[in-house]
Amino acid sequence: MTPPSTASPPGTWAPGLCWRCETDDVPVIWLGPAHSEHHGHAPFVACERCVTRLEELIAAYAVGRSRTS
């Protein structure tokens, strides 16, 4: 899925609002579309600190998934 035209291309950092910690005017990166039941899609972006934490959660999820499969 491609990001909306208002978002930076995937893999690039641009100043904006982090959608996880809500810090504004920090370098954020597009992680994927966020789905809203009522408002459709929105670009989910996060700052470097939050991306690091999300990477940890994704790694833990991947480990758990590989254990159960």
Q: Which residues bind Zn ion (CB under 5 A)?
A: 18, 20-21, 47, 50
Residue 49 or 64 with smaller CB distance to Zn ion: 49
Residue 14 or 64 with smaller CB distance to Zn ion: 14
Residue 7 or 50 with smaller CB distance to Zn ion: 50
Helix (H) or strand (E) holding 61: helix 48-68
CB distance 41 to 34 below 8 Å: yes
Least distance CB 44 / Zn ion (angstroms): 11
Helix (H, G, I), strand (E, B) or coil at 32: strand
